[in-house]
């Protein structure tokens, strides 16, 4: 498998693959940072151009996952590496607790250690669920959403595409958070939040409107 990125969150994805005992033919990709070694931890090769990534997909392993946060960047990387011949794959920690009934995960999700997912939950493509999050029954998490560590989403909630919930944010039951929304760290969401907005506080209040995302990104 190829992990896009070789810093920060990419190392946490590596830890999950270690938990899964899936380290054979594992490489990283970083064409941005000049201080990344040729081999991460002296073991895992770091590719640094599209030609190397394409050759890896064709000859060794066509799977990739994204070891970088930021919903829009993740979406762009998904398209780039799919065009190079890669297959977008989920990486789900065996130390996450996932219910047996009615759950559905689309491709390319990262679900990290300590997360609890109960029942009848739909998690869409490319979503990142970080350490120790909880998601209650009958909730829908949109495409390329980012849940920071310790986010708690109650039952019957919907989170729109490309939204980011900050560390330790909480969402009360039966609420909808729109697409392209940022919820501040530690905030408590007690009512619906509209698209393209920033909300913070206890209770969370909209403090800023964001530019709608380009149709090209969506």
Q: Which residues are catalytic?
A: 137
Bridge partners for 18 per DSSP: none
Strands (E), 26-111: 27-29, 39-40, 44-47, 63-66, 87-88, 91-92, 97-98, 104-105, 110-111
Q: Which two tokens stand for residue 46?
A: 């770091």
Residue with tokens 């890896």: 56
**Nearest residue to 210 (alpha-carbon basis) of 154, 160, 143:** 160
Cβ-Cβ contacts under 8 Å for 187 (sequence gap 6 or more)? 166, 169, 170, 199, 200, 201, 202, 204
* Element at 74 (helix H, strand E): helix 71-83
Measure Cα distances from 19 to 7, 25, 106, 129 in Å: 19, 16, 21, 17
CB 140 within 8 A of CB 176: no
Q: How far is CA 3 from the centre of its chain?
A: 13
Distance, CA of 42 to CA of 54 (rounded, Å): 23
């Amino acid at each position: 498998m190829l992990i896009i990125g070789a810093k920060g969150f990419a190392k946490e994805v590596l830890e999950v693959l270690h938990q899964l005992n899936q380290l054979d033919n594992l490489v990283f990709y970083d064409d941005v940072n000049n201080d990344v070694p040729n081999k991460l931890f002296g073991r895992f090769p770091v590719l640094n151009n599209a030609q190397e990534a394409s050759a890896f997909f064709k000859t060794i392993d066509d799977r990739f996952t994204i070891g970088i946060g930021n919903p829009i960047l993740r979406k762009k990387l998904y398209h780039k590496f799919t065009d190079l011949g890669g297959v977008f794959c989920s990486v789900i920690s065996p130390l996450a607790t996932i219910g047996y009934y009615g759950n559905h995960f689309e491709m390319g999700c990262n679900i990290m250690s300590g997360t609890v997912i109960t029942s009848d939950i739909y998690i869409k493509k490319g979503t990142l669920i970080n350490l120790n999050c909880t998601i209650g029954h009958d909730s829908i998490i949109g495409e390329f959403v980012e849940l920071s560590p310790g986010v708690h989403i109650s039952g019957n909630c919907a989170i729109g595409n490309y939204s980011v919930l900050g560390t330790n944010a909480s969402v009360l039951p039966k609420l909808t958070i729109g697409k392209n929304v940022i919820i501040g760290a530690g905030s408590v969401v007690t009512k619906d939040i509209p698209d393209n907005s920033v909300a913070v506080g206890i209770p969370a209040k909209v403090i800023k409107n964001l530019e709608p995302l380009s149709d090209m990104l969506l």
